[in-house]
Structure 1
């Protein structure tokens, strides 16, 4: 427990604006408010082990459906998403779905899916690279710098991916092996199913959902001020300074 190190009951009186707060006998009540936590002298323990957990439960779930060579997607990721990642990551779960307006066709002779992308084969390859990176590096802190680097850098997809992997501590040999494997093919198929299952169906990219929902107004807000949209959607009691 977050207060297991305290054996005896603490009795502490706090006078605040004429009100006196007693520390409750039961440790389960010590983090019910900041005033009580201060009376029990466990402010830091409550912040570290209890209140942060409560805030995590209220995280906003942001999903971004995109394709790697789409100019609007690149603009959105390298500005709005990157800024949100740098400033309010504590209150948002960011999920990338690299498929966009692609189509897939199952080839029974190979038992693999063949993908056709809006911006050609280079985009299909870029989508597959992102797919494999997301699989092996699932935390935002691991994959988002790589995605940002690729989306903000012009050039041949393979060259850019190699350079960005070096900058982001990504094992590119592992990623290359994935892109040429059945695993990579199946992972990309999974994103195809996820994208094609959207309700309402996506009409363009980037396509943004907040907590699984999408509206045109939400999309406009996201592309103009994603941090503001996430802050407005956050239901936690202690928003970061950027939201105040």
Structure 2
């Protein structure tokens, strides 16, 4: 009987064909799944930023010069697009264990200015506003006209005065200072001078003026600012 054998043969061919199709479909699905993960990785890299922390004292002239002249460039050359900037005052301050008061390296005036800057840094989360505020204070500090901060900084930046003045007058800036001092105490190695500039937890030490080079070198993202192409040549 040839006919039954032919039917069996055709059935086996159909089963084999279906098995091959299913295997190819599974392979395609697996490849698509992996491709999706690749896209996620690329997206993650594209948004990866470098942590840049600047520890400083508000009446330190070299700190003020760095903030005003060097750090401002990151907003002009678009380096800020790949940076998480953290400004940290109170670098050389310490808490008196007896009465819990804070002493600053350059005296009470520096503690007052550190408190003012702490309030600004904690009230406004946008990094450009934080920088503009600190830049304004440091500019007045260099000029020796820091007492004019209300007129010069608050009015100039058009920021609401009430929350800022409440923060300062209620002593919240000093309490924030204790938090900053504790944060600075955790640094390893500890600051040996100021400004103490740290890129992805690595201090650049005396080469802080060239911090942008270290930022570009540490960046692992996809979208590279043009300034990095120049600095890393």
Aligning the two structures, in what range does the TM-score lie when normalised by the shorter sequence?
0.7 to 0.9
Give 1 or 2: higher helix fraction.
2
Contact 1:130 1:147 in 2 (8 A): yes
Match of 1:59 in 2: 49
Specify the SS of the correspondent of 2:101: strand
Aligned pairs for 1:57-136 (under 5 A) are 58-87=48-77, 88-106=79-97, 113-136=100-123
Match of 2:228 in 1: 243
Q: How many residues were matched structurally?
A: 197
Match of 2:156 in 1: 167
Larger radius of gyration between Structure 1 and Structure 2: 2
Runs of 4+ aligned structure 1 residues displaced above 4 Å come to: 25-28, 30-33, 50-53
Contact 1:150 1:161 in 2 (8 A): no
CA shift in 2, pair 1:207/1:161, >3 Å: farther
Specify the SS of the correspondent of 2:72: helix
Q: Deviation of residue 169 (structure 1)?
A: 2.7
Q: Which has the higher contact order (CA 8 A, sep 6+)?
A: 2
Deviations 1:83-135 (A, max 9, x none): 12332111011101110211222565xxxx42221222111111001100011
| Cα-Cα RMSD | 2.6
Give 1 or 2: higher strand fraction.
1
Contact 1:60 1:92 in 2 (8 A): yes
Query: What TM-score, normalized by structure 2, do the two folds share?
Result: 0.74
Query: What TM-score, normalized by structure 1, do the two folds share?
Result: 0.71
Match of 1:232 in 2: 217
Alignment gaps of 5+ in structure 2? 1-30
Q: Deviation of residue 198 (structure 1)?
A: 1.5
Q: Deviation of residue 184 (structure 1)?
A: 2.6
Alignment gaps of 5+ in structure 1? 1-24, 34-45
Match of 2:133 among 134, 140, 146: 146
Match of 2:195 in 1: 206
